[in-house]
Each structure stands twice: as C-alpha cells, then as structure tokens.
Structure 1
C-alpha cells in the first residue's frame, strides 16, 4: 500500500531531505517548501520507505500536489 504525501501550501521546493529507498518514520521532514520567505516542512504522515519523489529543488508546487510517495 502506498501513501501520497501532499503539499500543504503553494511554494517553491527549497530542499529535499530524503532519497528514493530511504526508510522514514511519521513526522520525518521530507521536503522543505519556501513561501513568502518562510520555510515550511512537509512531513511523513506514515512510517515506510520512500518509493517516489515527484518534485525537484526549485520547482513550484501548488497546495495538494503530491510531492512524495511512501510505500508502507
């Protein structure tokens, strides 16, 4: 089963903290967004393994865009 991790707001991807295949736990900061000079972390909502990273650093994302897929 996979879990889609979505952006909670619009902004630019400032930093990606994980790689495909990484083991993550709930609460791990996966991606850091930058919006209006604020850094906002996107956290894992489940424990699992990073299956896909669907964004790249510098890319603009909208609210509810899937940024990472976790395999439970």
Structure 2
C-alpha cells in the first residue's frame, strides 16, 4: 500500500483520480492551491487508487494523507 501525502499545506483545488483508477509513476493525482499558486502532487510509483481521503475544497497540512494506492 502506497500513501500519497500533501507536499505543502494548502487547499485541495482539484482531484484528478477516483477509486479504481490505474496510475503510473509521475502521474499527477491532486492539485493543491497555496498562496494563489497551483501545486501538482504526483505519485512516485504506479498502482490502483484504493481510496481518495480528501475532497475538493478541503484544507490539508503538509504531510496530510490525500490518497491511498493499492
């Protein structure tokens, strides 16, 4: 199981995947917004999205859990 976490504090601007989606290493899965900048969060290894923990508009702290991969 691989956990995808926020690389910085910010609001979840857009979620690009849903449970069941296949993702490849380097693929963007979430876009965070912080200080009017959009920051893409990518997966480091491929897998299947098991669970999306956050919703668009949620605020997350740095290191906060975003997505769980199988």
Which of the five TM-score ranges fits, normalised by the shorter chain? over 0.9
Normalized against structure 1, the TM-score is what?
Answer: 0.95
SS at match of 1:9: coil
Q: Where does structure 2 lack aligned partners over 5 or more consecutive residues?
A: none
Q: Where does structure 1 lack aligned partners over 5 or more consecutive residues?
A: none
SS at match of 1:49: strand
Per-residue deviation, 1:39: 0.2
**Alignment-derived partner of residue 24 in structure 2:** 25
C-alpha RMSD of the superposition: 0.4
Normalized against structure 2, the TM-score is what?
Answer: 0.98
- Are residue 51 (structure 1) and residue 50 (structure 2) matched? yes
Q: Distance in 1 between matches of 2:45 and 2:4?
A: 9
Aligned residues: 70
Q: Distance in 2 between matches of 1:60 and 1:38?
A: 14
**Alignment-derived partner of residue 14 in structure 1:** 13
1:15-34 Cα deviation digits (max 9, x unpaired): 00001000000111100000
